[in-house]
Amino acid sequence: MPAPRILIVDDNPVFCEMLEASLQRAGYQAFTVGSGQAALDYFEQAPVDLVLVDVLMPGSSGYWLCSELRKRSDLPIIMLTALNNPEAIVYGLSQGIDDYVTKPFPLRELDVRIQTLLQRREQQRYEVGVDP
């Protein structure tokens, strides 16, 4: 089975590089883009198993991206953001995200959250008879 493909959407190149390297060490295929539109373009061109999205980006917010992704797919979405207030969390969940993680965060915790969502999605696909 190929390694899960994770798309990182964040406008901070240093953060993206660090997270991409960490995810690759954990056995994932990780790819980064710096904007919501770039993420949609990538999503249309290549299969993705999970998306990690920042809220605050130039051009379009992570909330907008999550809403657009939900129109196209039910893939797992984790919001990674410095916004740590109840309103931001509730709004993100209302846009269809599956999990909300505030920066900074332990990489091991993120890995477990990713594993959980990927396993849940795989189980759902198995239950409805969709080939992985």
* The overall pTM is greater than 0.85: yes
How confident is residue 122, by pLDDT bands cut at 50, 70 and 90? confident
Res. 1: pLDDT tops 80: no
In the predicted model, what is the mean pLDDT of residues 93-115?
A: 93
Instruction: Give Cβ neighbours of residue 37 (< 8 Å, ≥ 6 apart).
Output: 59, 60
Dump pLDDT digits (tens) for 48-80.
999 999 999 888 899 999 999 999 999 999 999
Q: Give the C-alpha distances (Å, rounded to integers) separating 15 from 50, 113, 117.
A: 18, 18, 22
Could you report the per-residue pLDDT of 23-35, keeping only the tens digit for each? Answer: 999 999 999 999 9
Report pLDDT for 126. 65
Query: What topology does CATH give the domain 5-127?
Result: Rossmann fold (3.40.50)
**What is the average pLDDT value for the chain, to the nearest integer?**
91
